[in-house]
């Protein structure tokens, strides 16, 4: 059963079926036992009458009724009276007009209810209350009533207990896992006993485990990010302290050390700015401002500003692409994504060779490609260069690059993801790195 609703429905339905089936079986068995009793009693009375006569029959009848108080047995003589003088039932036989209780002939009654004495006198055997006409006709004995009640309580109790255990056990496990997770144990999971279920509780268990996995990864990433930020901030601060110490030891190098302190302060300022940009991108996407923007014009502006600020030779940055292409997005966020990719190419590309920025469009996607002619990145480092503070080495060197802040490509990756796109990097066959930003065409026209 793949649905908790189905399981509950079928459990109650099964309880009703079992109770009904048990009730039918119990009443049928009881009726079969009761239906054979009148014939047996009549047969015993006949034997006693033949053997001991009317006095013996009276004695037997008195003892029989004493033992069977739930149903009286009456033996009616030809005068319409019980041989023990018992009161006839209100719905019992009434004497017909013009004669005795049975008319002018012998007593009439159902076959098997008449018994004959040795002298030929006929007597009629009656029962009060009369035997049931069918298994479901009243009256029901107290034994049957108690049996039906016990059956209903027992079956419903067992089914309800099983259903309650089926629901409460995994819920308690989820509750325990949630409490353990809230206490700080990020390894807490609902477990396979819950996740393997194929109903709503199983779905909830799998969602809980997935949430716990994402939460654990997020907290681990946060801790790693804080550790990396701490390390990145300490490095320029340590160099600034070293420059101050050298300036104090050698007053003649004060100007040189001040220049170094200024560079480190600028680097620290850029690092803090990138950290703030990355933190801003971690907000809820609903807080960003999406509007229609001219994508080619945005890229031209980024290329122009980057070329001017980097003091690159004219024409080093070359942009080619579509015109009149609008895209719905956050201008600042997209600007940060493309700008960081372009500046990364300026930082690591060969200063003597151009950097190409191209914009292409197909039926479903928009592609922004930035290609430099630097040394490239080792293949093993390509998937990780978009992680915060991860610095890859050059393809032609075993040393890790110390240039840049290590956050720019992470900002680009997060910004593009907020627009439903992706960013990938690969080494060019002729050398250099190619970074491609892909955005869904549904956002633009």
Task: Let me know if residue 233 belongs to a domain.
Answer: yes
| CA–CA distance, 101 with 112 (Å, rounded to integer) | 19
Note whether 38 and 126 are same-domain residues: yes
Note whether 303 and 254 are same-domain residues: no
Give the end of a domain, one of 107, 142, 177. 142
Note whether 252 and 127 are same-domain residues: no
Note whether 362 and 427 are same-domain residues: yes
Domain count, the chain: 3
Q: Which helix (H) or strand (E) holds 327?
A: strand 326-329
Q: Which domain holds residue 324?
A: 289-443
CATH of the domain at 272: 1.10.287.130
Q: Which helix (H) or strand (E) holds 184?
A: none
Task: Let me know if residue 273 belongs to a domain.
Answer: yes
Note whether 240 and 302 are same-domain residues: no
Give the end of a domain, one of 230, 261, 282. 282
Note whether 10 and 48 are same-domain residues: yes
pLDDT tens sequence for the chain (445 residues): 556 666 677 777 777 777 777 777 777 776 666 666 778 888 888 888 888 888 898 899 899 888 887 778 899 988 888 998 888 887 544 444 433 444 334 444 444 488 988 888 899 998 887 766 655 556 666 666 677 777 777 777 777 777 777 777 888 888 888 888 888 888 888 888 888 887 778 888 888 888 888 888 778 777 776 776 676 677 778 888 888 888 888 888 888 888 888 888 887 887 777 777 777 776 656 667 788 888 899 999 998 888 888 777 777 888 988 778 888 888 888 888 898 889 888 888 888 888 999 999 888 889 999 999 888 888 888 878 887 777 665 555 444 444 555 677 888 888 888 888 999 998 988 888 999 999 997 655 4
Alpha helix (H) residue ranges in 68-199: 142-182, 192-195
Residue 369 forms beta bridges with which residues? 358, 436
Note whether 266 and 325 are same-domain residues: no
| CA–CA distance, 423 with 199 (Å, rounded to integer) | 38
Note whether 94 and 15 are same-domain residues: yes
CATH of the domain at 80: 3.30.450
Question: Structure pTM?
Answer: 0.49
| CA–CA distance, 348 with 167 (Å, rounded to integer) | 60
């Amino acid at each position: 059963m793949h649905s908790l609703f189905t399981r509950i429905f079928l459990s109650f339905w099964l309880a009703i079926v079992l109770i009904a089936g048990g009730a039918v079986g119990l009443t049928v068995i009881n009726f079969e036992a009761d239906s054979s009793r009148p014939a047996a009693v009549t047969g015993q009375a006949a034997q006693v009458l033949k053997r001991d006569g009317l006095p013996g029959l009276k004695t037997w009848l008195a003892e029989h009724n004493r033992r069977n108080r739930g149903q009286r047995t009456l033996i009616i003589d030809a005068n319409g009276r019980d041989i023990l003088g018992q009161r006839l039932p209100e719905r019992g036989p009434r004497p017909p007009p013009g004669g005795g209780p049975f008319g002018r002939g012998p007593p009439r009654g159902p076959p098997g209810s008449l018994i004959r004495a040795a002298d030929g006198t006929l007597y009629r055997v009656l029962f009060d209350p009369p035997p049931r006409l069918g298994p479901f006709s009243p009256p029901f004995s107290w034994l049957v009533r108690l049996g039906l009640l016990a059956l209903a309580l027992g079956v419903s109790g067992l089914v309800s207990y099983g259903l309650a255990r089926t629901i409460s056990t995994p819920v308690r496990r989820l509750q325990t896992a949630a409490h353990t997770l809230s206490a700080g144990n990020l390894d807490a999971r609902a477990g396979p006993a819950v996740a393997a279920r194929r109903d709503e509780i199983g779905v909830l268990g799998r969602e809980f485990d997935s949430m716990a996995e994402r939460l654990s990864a997020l907290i681990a990433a946060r801790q790693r990010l804080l550790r990396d930020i701490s390390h990145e901030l300490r490095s320029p601060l340590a160099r600034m302290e070293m420059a101050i110490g050298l300036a104090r030891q050698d007053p003649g190098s004060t100007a040189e050390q001040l220049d170094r302190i200024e560079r480190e302060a600028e680097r620290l300022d850029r690092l803090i700015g990138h950290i703030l940009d990355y933190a801003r991108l971690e907000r809820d996407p609903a807080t960003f401002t999406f509007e229609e923007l001219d994508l080619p014009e945005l890229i031209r502006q980024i290329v122009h500003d980057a070329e001017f600020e980097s003091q690159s030779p004219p024409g080093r940055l070359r942009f080619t692409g579509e015109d009149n292409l609008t895209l719905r997005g956050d201008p600042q966020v997209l600007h940060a994504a493309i700008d960081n990719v372009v500046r990364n190419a300026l930082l690591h590309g060969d200063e003597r060779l151009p950097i190409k920025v191209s914009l292409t469009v197909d039926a479903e996607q928009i592609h922004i490609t930035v290609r430099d002619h630097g040394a490239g990145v080792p293949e093993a480092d390509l998937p990780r260069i978009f992680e915060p503070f991860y610095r890859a080495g050059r393809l032609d060197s075993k040393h890790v690059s110390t240039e840049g802040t290590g956050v720019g490509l992470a900002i680009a990756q997060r910004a593009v993801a907020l627009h439903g796109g992706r960013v990938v990097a690969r080494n060019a066959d002729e050398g250099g790195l190619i970074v491609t930003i892909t955005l869904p065409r549904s956002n633009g026209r």
